[in-house]
Amino acid sequence: MSGPNDNFDPKQVAALSVEAIDGFVAEALAAVGAATTTAELKQVRLEHAGDRSPLALANREIGALPPAARKDAGARVGKARGRVTEAIVTRQEELAAQELAAALVAERIDMTLPVEVRPQGALHPITSLIDEMCDVFVGMGWEVAEGPELEAEWYNFDALNLGPDHPARGEQDTLWVEPMGAGKLMRTQTSPVQVRALLTRDLPLYIVSPGKVFRADEYDATHLPVFHQLEGLVVDKGISMADLRGVLDHFAQAMFGEVTIRMRPHYFPFTEPSAEVDIQCFVCHGESGPDKPCRTCRSEGWIEWCGCGVVNPRVLRACGIDPEVYSGFAFGMGVDRTVMFRTGAPDLRDFVEGDIRFSRSAVVGGTR
């Protein structure tokens, strides 16, 4: 067996010389110092610390050295690679900090300025008016009552003195829910809320009940199959038609300003006596005529507003209340047409199209 070959050609391992290693380190450090961004530094890492860098290639040449020379060469190359790696890590931290500081300045947001993050919506004019109406009654000490839209036949008709043969029960007006014999329907008025309140609340009772109602009406400029009502109910001792007139006077002035109302005899099954209430046109104030036409009241000077009356004793008895002790009054009006009166909207179909421009213009135009 021959001994180890201690003779080698220095030219074949020139990359491992002290001068060469120092040169590789100097070039790497210069490149690291010249990098101005983390992206540039990443390229420097590949060129001076990657698998194809000069120091990595020099490290591969160690195997060509005789055993006696490998230890010193390995230590020299390892130290050099450590210096380059340390310099890259230090520079990476410096550049990352600089870029973060620059980003914070460039992306700074002034939190004191108003910013519209997304397009703003608007309350529907019907919602706005219902809120305003309820505020008037809450200010008088009344309560707001709500009930289900899917209602039982007894609450919607029988308890309100609408007998089995009343024409309002027909399919031409009422939307019945299958199966037909179940006695379920979409409420045709908000009066069932009043019946439920009479059955569950203590007397005296002062409530207002707004909400959707459903009828088999045509879908046109003046009719909708789904519309809104607001009804009021008072049951107490000593209540008369005069109290009803005072409440409606106050309510009309709160809604339309200094206006006058009038009451005309009418018939409703659930009130007796009953009346239709007209409000003096709040545009022409009753002064319209052939020479001064008014589109709002059609030059009649009055606008039909709501129905009302003294609660029928039969309704009180159906709810377990003694009409000899208690009396009351009720009224109801359409919210949708009231919005039309106040905003000049020509077509009820605009109310259900979902166009945000209509809601904004209607709110600006008069309901608020």
Domain assignments of the chain as residue spans, ordered by start: 15-107, 125-364
Q: Is 47 labelled a binding residue?
A: no
CA torsion through residues 341, 345, 351, 354, sign: negative
pLDDT at 6 over 60: no
What pLDDT is stored for residue 3 in this prediction? Answer: 44
Distance CA 74, CA 167 (A): 107
How far apart are the C-alpha atoms of 355 and 125, rounded to whole Å? 12
Angle at CA of residue 246, ends 280 and 326, nearest 5°: 135
pLDDT at 59: 81
Q: Which of 175, 104, 162, 98 is nearest to 314 (CA)?
A: 162
pLDDT of residue 279: 85
3-state secondary structure of 336: helix
pTM above 0.75, yes or no: no
Beta bridge partners of residue 261, listed in sequence order = 279
Task: State mean pLDDT over 276-301.
Answer: 77
Residue 365: the pLDDT is 45
Distance (Å, rounded) from C-alpha 318 to C-alpha 327? 14
287 pLDDT band, cuts 50/70/90, is: confident
Q: For 99-148, write each residue's pLDDT tens digit.
A: 999 998 888 877 787 767 777 778 888 898 899 999 999 999 999 999 99
- Give alpha helix (H) positions in the chain: 18-34, 38-49, 54-60, 67-106, 125-139, 153-156, 191-200, 241-256, 313-318, 335-343, 356-362
- Averaged over 325-354, what is the pLDDT? 82
Picking from 17-26, 200-209, 359-368, which range would have the lowest pLDDT averaged per residue? Answer: 359-368
pLDDT in tens, 234-246: 999 999 999 999 9
Average pLDDT, the chain: 84
Q: What is the CATH number of domain 125-364?
A: 3.30.930.10
pLDDT at 209: 95
What string of DSSP letters covers 290-317?
A: TTB--TTTTTSSEEEEEEEEEEPHHHHH
Give 202's DSSP letter: P
Return the half-sphere exposure (C-beta side, CA atoms, 13 A cut-off) of residue 341: 23
What are the tokens at 284? 């022409």
Query: Residue 222: its pLDDT value, please?
Result: 66
> Residue 217 half-sphere exposure, CB side, CA atoms within 13 Å?
15
pLDDT digits (tens, 9 = 90+) for 315-325: 999 999 999 99
